[in-house]
Amino acid sequence: MADRDGNRKELLEQLTMPGNTRCADCGAPDPDWASYKLGIFVCLHCSGIHRNLPEISKIKSIRLDFWDDDLVKYMRTHGNLSAKAKYEAVVPPYYYRPQATDCLVLKEQWIRAKYERQEFTADQTGKSRESAGNKEGFLWKRGKDKAQFLLRRFVLSEREGVLKYFTKEEIKGAKATMSLKDLNAMFQPEKIGNPNGLQITYVKGIQTRNVFVYHESRKEIVDWFNAIRAARLRYLKTEFPTTAESEIIPRITRNYLKEGYMEKTGPKQREAFRKRWFTLDLQERKLLYYKDPMDPYEQGAVFIGSRDHGYQVKEGLPKGIKGKKWKAGVTIVTPGRQFLFTCENEKDQRAWMEALNEVISRPMTPQDYAAEANFRRQS
């Protein structure tokens, strides 16, 4: 007969072993679920994804479920490090490995790619990734002026260094040609209102252009995301041949450091405070604002330099100035002027200040100086 308490104790011990202290799939700390078919320890969230794949995975709670001796022994001889060696033997450098904070579609497709399709096992070593940065197909794209989504053909070409899309009158040429140089992509299920919603951004003139797309197939939208990443990696490696790949990889695509509503006033600081949607981009050091979260172009931008270059974020508003509806003020001091904002509550105010301080604490690179000078000329 299985020693119930002994087995639970043994499993809890296994959880302290290298590799098992974090979820095998998203890296969340202290997993307390396990797939006893794959021999891995996972977090509650990833366990839910495994539960939907009964062909490849079977889930038990470490603390709540009954474990017999054989399964406990199986877990001991396998575990997260051994699974990683097998199922993540040859993950291409551009392939996005989801983290605990990432959305469901990214985690689900990572889990399916690893264990169901076994895309990264050692026998895939010789598989050509040559065409990884090329892709063609249809995506639902949000119309520029109206809120509906229209089916559009997209073409990603690594060789041309662009992502293009076409309207029905393809003969007229691409509706937009986005250079890989400034291309970014991030999953935005909540903002787009679709679990497979992807926001693509590129620079057009001096503005950031947003393109919102989705595909009904979870695999297809994640394939698009990784194809864009493959093309971007190739571009960055060509552009910065002496930079280490480990330094380039975090720059392939990026999420915003923070986004959400604040109220802002104008340059005279006497204008009425208006509610706007803000996005903070750490890499570009830019706080952009929009009337609507899904606007194609920003209404304005604030360059956020570093502390030793006269940038500062302060709690509250200057004396005598009050927000409209919201009271929790944030003041951004730049060498040129002050920018005044109010947040819905103190919790959000703290979160914005923390995010802005993260940008301000980061030293400026030569590219940042150029961007700052460019920014001053334009504003």
- Residues forming contacts to Zn ion in the complex (CB under 5 A) are 23, 25-26, 28, 43, 46
Nearer to Zn ion, 23 or 317 (CB): 23
Smallest gap from Cβ 33 to Zn ion, in A, equals 9
Beta strand 59-61 pairing with 286-290:
unpaired
Smallest gap from Cβ 28 to Zn ion, in A, equals 5
Nearer to Zn ion, 29 or 126 (CB): 29
Q: What share of the chain is helix, strand, coil (3-state, %, to 5)?
A: 30, 25, 45
Nearer to Zn ion, 95 or 339 (CB): 95
Smallest gap from Cβ 42 to Zn ion, in A, equals 5
Smallest gap from Cβ 25 to Zn ion, in A, equals 5
CA-to-CA separations, 109 to 81, 191, 225, 251, 371, in angstroms, rounded? 20, 20, 11, 22, 36
Smallest gap from Cβ 261 to Zn ion, in A, equals 30
Nearer to Zn ion, 108 or 298 (CB): 108
For the CA atoms of 345, 346, 348, 352, what is the dihedral angle to 10 degrees? Answer: 130
Nearer to Zn ion, 46 or 231 (CB): 46
Helix (H, G, I), strand (E, B) or coil at 152: strand
CB-side neighbour CA atoms (13 Å) of 26: 25
Return the structure tokens found at 245: 């790949």
Q: Do 287 and 304 meet the contact criterion of CB atoms below 8 Å apart?
A: yes
Q: Do 328 and 348 meet the contact criterion of CB atoms below 8 Å apart?
A: yes
Round to whole Å and give the CA distance between 16 and 31: 10
Nearer to Zn ion, 100 or 364 (CB): 100
Smallest gap from Cβ 52 to Zn ion, in A, equals 14
Helix (H, G, I), strand (E, B) or coil at 29: strand
Smallest gap from Cβ 180 to Zn ion, in A, equals 31
Nearer to Zn ion, 34 or 248 (CB): 34
Nearer to Zn ion, 115 or 214 (CB): 115
Nearer to Zn ion, 43 or 353 (CB): 43
Smallest gap from Cβ 79 to Zn ion, in A, equals 15
Residue 131 buriedness (CB in 10 A; 0-12 / 13-18 / 19+): exposed
Nearer to Zn ion, 31 or 161 (CB): 31
Beta strand 149-157 pairing with 184-187:
unpaired
For the CA atoms of 360, 362, 366, 371, what is the dihedral angle to 10 degrees? Answer: -40
Smallest gap from Cβ 194 to Zn ion, in A, equals 23
For the CA atoms of 21, 27, 28, 31, what is the dihedral angle to 10 degrees? Answer: -40
Smallest gap from Cβ 258 to Zn ion, in A, equals 23
> Within the chain, where are the H helices?
4-14, 44-51, 69-77, 80-87, 104-111, 189-192, 218-239, 245-248, 346-361, 366-378
What residues are paired with 281 via a beta bridge?
286
Round to whole Å and give the CA distance between 203 and 221: 22
